[in-house]
Structure 1
Amino acid sequence: MHTLRPLFLLLVLCAFGMHDGKTEKLKPGDIFRDCEVCPEMAVIPAGRFEMGARDYDSRAVKKRELPRVSIQIDAFAIGRFEVTREQYQACVDDGGCEYSPGAMFWEKLPRTHGEYPIVHIAWEDAQQYVAWLSEHTGFKYSLPSEAEWEYAARGGTSTIYWWGDDLGVNNAHCVECGGGHPFLGDHKSPLPVGSLSPNPFGLYDVIGNVREHVQDCFGPLKKLPPDGTAYEKSDCTIHSLRGSAFDEVASSRAARLSSRSGAQLVARERSYGFRVKRRLDQ
């Protein structure tokens, strides 16, 4: 059953173009939330793209990022932000998520805006969250596939970063990205979600902040299905991570949109988080 929202909140959401995901047919560019404690979602258009490193990208890890593959993506919705502590805690409080990470030191500091992304999350923890979210809303939530993640993170661009081919300054939150945490003055913690500019699809923090779990088993690009679904196998022990992190060493390499890495299903690190996907064909 869907959570009912107070009338004043509905009016506020409508004023900003937000609407309930069940009230009308969703279309690309729409922003919605299925319940009060649910992540805010953006509808991503269908399309085809070339997944993997650009030919001129000298920092590409060839065994992981090449050769490029052509992927057809159906329309879907993805979280505009990484899942926050508050959103994840709702799953813990309701009994849907078994593991509750202790408060990170940065969460104890005063802040002026926003929620921090939940971190210290393993792939299996994220699976419990999306299962709970699906049951809570009646819609099919999951982690995005690796192809869906890169397609959404690129925002329709074909450059090394979504803003161009140079890392620049203050485009993302990572060690070599310039700037620093507004409270600490360095890169010892993530920023509250949405602190920097969004990509062309309206997604925040796809580069930097925290690494994000995706659905796929980690393998070569050629193993990824051409229809954009996840590469899965029954004996998988290493799953893919995408995006870079606030404390990433050599961030100019890790922050590239084609950068890929893997982690064990039960691995929990202070830079591991996630964002969610929701199917539209329901």
Structure 2
Amino acid sequence: MRYLVFSSLVVTSALSGCSLYYESQAKDMIQRQMDAMVFVEGGEFMMGNPGGWDGSKDSWPPHKVVLDDFYIQKYEVTQGDFELFMAVTGYEHSNSSYESLRDHSPDRFQSSFPAVVSWKDASDFCEWLGSQTGKAVELPTEAQWEYAARSGGKPFRYATENGDAKEGVTMAARPSQYRRQNKSLPQPPGSYPPNLLGLYDMSGNAAEWVRDYYHADYYERSPVNNPKGPESPIIESWSNEPFRVLRGGDFRDFSGNTTVTRRKAIERATNESTGFRCSLLKI
């Protein structure tokens, strides 16, 4: 694996308006986020469910995809780092129910857990990271995410070292008795072994936002080279928000719902199961 070596000297002066304490903390956080970028050599793979990996019709058919080189973070962004971003920038969470969700489930908002975010929050964080470093940081595309989860497009069903899943060993065991009580929680990113690229928690923990709009039949017409998802969204009727793709399953899912091909579609709303990591096309 190869990591992006990033110099803190390129952090812009946009942080200068905040307190010295927050400025120092923010610079350290930016350095940490960029140091977590793992190089992924591009290549060709068959994206999607080859048969029997999950029960979703939208992960079919398998189709050839060719990707350029890119970087992706080895960890999910934590709640603590996202809250520091909000404190430094004055950013307001995009979901009006954020505070009520936090009041209802305070344990889920521990600083070491994956950040609780909407799609917009995740995208804004990555873009802010890019604005502070002069790099084109953004959410990964769905194709980049799956290719990375599969350790460079290998025929792996799960994002583990050998493609197999064993609850409590390669990923967290789902506490079924707690799920009924709505008390299950994720783990701090990096709690279980990574895949062959050194990427953690791409099967389970938090369902991760990717850049793409969601169309159930997109795989039937996806381009081969560097697909970026549908050009136009499907709008959710009650929220008037576009459906986006979540990948990887979450801490409430059994292992069969955390395969590398499993797709979820929700509009941008925040809930306890979501998280994200950022990507970078060029250094």
The alpha-carbon deviation at position 82 of structure 1 amounts to 0.5
Q: Once structures 1 and 2 are overlaid, which stretch shifts more, 130-139 or 157-166?
A: 157-166
Alignment of structure 1 residues 1-282 onto 2, 5 Å = 20-21=5-6, 36-38=28-30, 39=33, 40-55=36-51, 57=52, 59-61=54-56, 63-95=57-89, 97-99=91-93, 101-102=98-99, 104-106=105-107, 115-119=112-116, 121-156=117-152, 157-163=154-160, 164=162, 166-170=164-168, 171-173=170-172, 175=174, 188-219=184-215, 220-236=218-234, 237-248=242-253, 251-265=254-268, 267-280=269-282
How far apart, in 2, do the equivalents of 1:74 and 1:83 lie? Answer: 24
* CA deviation profile, 1:128-171 (whole Å, cap 9, x unmatched): 11221111111011110000000000103203224456532321
Deviations 1:197-251 (A, max 9, x none): 0000000000010100000011231343322231142444111000111112xx2
Change (3 A) 1:108 1:98: closer
CA–CA distance in structure 1, aligned partners of residues 188 and 259 of structure 2: 21
Q: 1:165 to 1:187 in 2, by over 3 A?
A: farther
Deviation at 1:105, TM superposition (A): 2.8
Q: Is the 8 A contact 1:97 1:125 kept in 2?
A: no
CA displacement at 1:98 relative to structure 2? 2.0
Partner Cα separation in structure 2 for residue 116 and residue 74 of structure 1: 31
* Alpha-carbon distance in structure 2 between the residues aligned to 1:49 and 1:35: 37
Give 3-state SS (helix, strand or coil) of 1:36's partner: helix
Change (3 A) 1:212 1:201: same
Contact 2:72 2:279 in 1 (8 A): yes
Q: Distance in 2 between matches of 1:58 and 1:20?
A: 36
Once the 2 structures are TM-superposed, how far is the Cα of residue 60 of structure 1 from its aligned partner? 3.2
Aligned to 1:29: none
- Could you tell me which runs of 5 or more consecutive residues in structure 1 were left unpaired when the two chains were aligned: 1-16, 24-33, 181-185
Note if contact 1:173-1:245 (Cα within 8 Å) is conserved in structure 2: no
- Identify if the C-alpha distance between structure 1 residues 162 and 93 changes in structure 2 by more than 3 Å, giving closer, same or farther: closer
Whole-Å Cα distance in 1 between the matches of residues 164 and 4 of structure 2? 36
* Equivalent residues of 1:210, 1:273 under 8 A apart: yes
Change (3 A) 1:169 1:22: same
Output the CA distance in 1 between the equivalents of 2:67 and 2:4.
Answer: 24
Q: Which runs of 5+ in 2 are unaligned?
A: 9-25, 235-241
Give the secondary-structure state (helix, strand or coil) at the position aligned to 1:133: helix
Letter in 1 for 2:167: V
TM-score using structure 1 length: 0.75
Q: CA deviation at 1:127?
A: 1.8
- Going from structure 1 to structure 2, the CA distance change for 1:197 and 1:221 (only over 3 Å counts) comes to same
Q: Which residue of structure 1 lines up, in the alignment, with residue 237 of structure 2?
A: none
- Stretch of structure 1 that moved more, 214-223 or 136-145: 214-223
Q: How many residues align?
A: 238
Taking a change above 3 Å as real, the CA distance of residues 223 and 18 of structure 1, as seen in their structure-2 partners, is: closer
Report the AA paired with residue 238 of structure 1: F
- Mapped to 2, the partners of 1:146 and 1:276 lie a distance apart of 12
Deviation at 1:35, TM superposition (A): 5.4
